Amino acid sequence: MKPPFVIAAATGAALWIGASVLSRRREAWDATLYWSAAYPAALLACALLGYLWPQKPWRWALALFLFQFVGMAIRNGELGGLWPLGLIVFAALSLPGMLVAHAAAALRRRTKEPAP
């Protein structure tokens, strides 16, 4: 496994489980803490991963949010009956992450190019 995938996966699961535990909510996105801290941290992680590994940076955002879904399943001990809807919501939540990862990758390419 590639290091950025492992970092994205661990970050996604940790952010979900951490926000859920700290807020005492079954699902982290039901808590203000998720939207005020965990989701912005996830977007920041996507940007950082995109900057450090700029090849196909959308992958890191998708992995991070997929593993938030995995974190939810682990925390709850089940998938639940609405898991397909949950995957769709996580996919939608990953779109801004993909955008910031692409922006960070573009910034890296622009700043790392040799001068003409």
pLDDT (tens digit, 9 = 90+) per residue, 12-48? 999 999 999 999 999 999 999 999 999 999 999 999 9
pLDDT digits (tens, 9 = 90+) for 8-19: 999 999 999 999
What is d(CA 76, CA 63) in angstroms, rounded to the nearest whole number?
20
Distances (CA, A) of 98 to 30, 36, 102, 116: 23, 19, 6, 30
Contact at 8 Å (CB) between 39 and 80?
no
pLDDT digits (tens, 9 = 90+) for 57-72: 999 999 999 999 999 9
pLDDT digits (tens, 9 = 90+) for 77-115: 888 888 899 999 999 999 999 999 999 999 999 887 654
What is d(CA 113, CA 71) in angstroms, rounded to the nearest whole number?
38
pLDDT given at position 111: 85
